[in-house]
Amino acid sequence: MPDAPAADLRDHLALALIPGLGPKLTAALMLHFGTAAAARRATVNELLRIPLIGDKLAQSFVQSLRNVDIDAEERLLIAHNVRAVILGRDDYPLRLTEIADAPPLLYFRGEITAADSNSIAIVGSRACTSYGLKTAERIAASLARAGWTVISGLARGIDGAAHKGALDAGGRTLAVLAGGLARIYPPEHAELADAVAKQGCLITETPMTVQPQPGMFPARNRIISGLCRGVVVIEANAKSGALITVDHAAEQGREVFAVPGQVDSPSSAGCLDLIRKGAKLVRDADDILDDIRGIAPPDPIAKKPSARKTAPSATLFEEAKPAATLDGIQQQIWDALTGAKHADELARTLGLPIGDLNRNLMQLELKKVIRRLPGNQYERRR
């Protein structure tokens, strides 16, 4: 069990057990009431003062709190050797606190260590080829031998291969699940989950017995990207869920890497498109580590809204401010785009190698602050 006082933990568990109360609503409750205990005591009228909560939701919230079974959840935590960790406590992953919608409560089976801050996520298709499986295992094993933690989602296909590669190399691996830890999904990965818990940690924001639903996987993916320094995509088709992880990574300021596949293979269409947009093409772990070691970790202070405030400027383009957090190079590109500019012109103006420019242009596209125009030109989104 965690270091949090028992009563405080029970309050947070109660909020987690309420159906439909996700991280954004929980954050709104915590901001308004100050503590989970105060949120639990709230009346319908008090809840209606929160902009995100209407009458129907307020009634449902209060009714759910009357029926929630915290004792049963605590028994399951003990039975499955799981501990719950509250956002803001010392044992909550530091890197995850940097993201905008950090989970208010996490469930851990296993241990997260300080060394896990140096981690790479490997994601890709469930319906992958033998090439994808071998590549995921090989890259994961090499990263693990280099002392890096491998993160993935315990899914079939690329995820499972990534965990297996890290485990076989004697390294650490973290698995982020969409569902609860009392019911491992997919069930055929139960033994793999046991091995991950012994050499790393199983992580979820979902109460113990909740089965994953389709809409829960995209939310899970933000945790995968939030925990890591960079995301590697292996065999993702054009509509792969792995690309949602890439979107989260771009918004969170994480690096994006893609492993190429055959140009006529549908299973690699998403990876090839990422590379075309500027994702770093990687062949092995050395490529990934060469790139990631040359990138300073993001400064958490720079992510605070107050750090980005500037005095109003004179021109329309100077007044427009991107909603997403931009690092130094991305901010320079944004500032240079006072009109539609060709990539070559941007590279000359900023003195950037074209590869570095393309990688940052891709991340700005994914953050939805710029758009690509015909003829390899770019402009700001308005």
Domains located in the chain, CATH noted: 18-67 (1.10.150.20), 108-292 (3.40.50.450), 300-380 (1.10.10.10)
Name the residue type at position 31. Answer: L
Question: Along the 382 residues of the chain, how does pLDDT read in single tens digits?
Answer: 444 557 789 999 999 999 878 888 888 898 889 899 999 889 999 999 988 888 988 999 999 888 899 999 999 999 999 999 999 888 899 999 988 889 999 999 999 999 999 999 999 999 899 999 999 999 999 999 999 999 999 999 999 999 999 999 999 999 999 999 999 999 999 999 999 999 999 999 999 999 988 889 999 999 999 999 999 999 988 888 899 999 998 888 889 999 998 888 888 999 999 998 888 899 999 999 988 876 544 443 333 333 333 333 333 333 456 656 787 888 999 899 988 888 888 888 899 887 778 778 888 887 778 887 766 788 888 7
Q: Which two tokens stand for residue 160?
A: 């499972």
| Pairing between β-strand 370-373 and β-strand 377-380 as defined by DSSP bridges | antiparallel
CA distances 105 to 6, 11, 24, 277, 336, Å, are 14, 11, 12, 35, 41
What order of strands is seen across the sheet that includes strand 341-342?
Answer: 341-342, 377-380, 370-373
Residue for token digits 């758009």? Answer: 371
Helix (H, G, I), strand (E, B) or coil at 103: coil
DSSP code string of 37-95: HHHHT--HHHHTTSTT--HHHHHHHHHHHHH--HHHHHHHHHHTT-EEEETTSTTS-TG
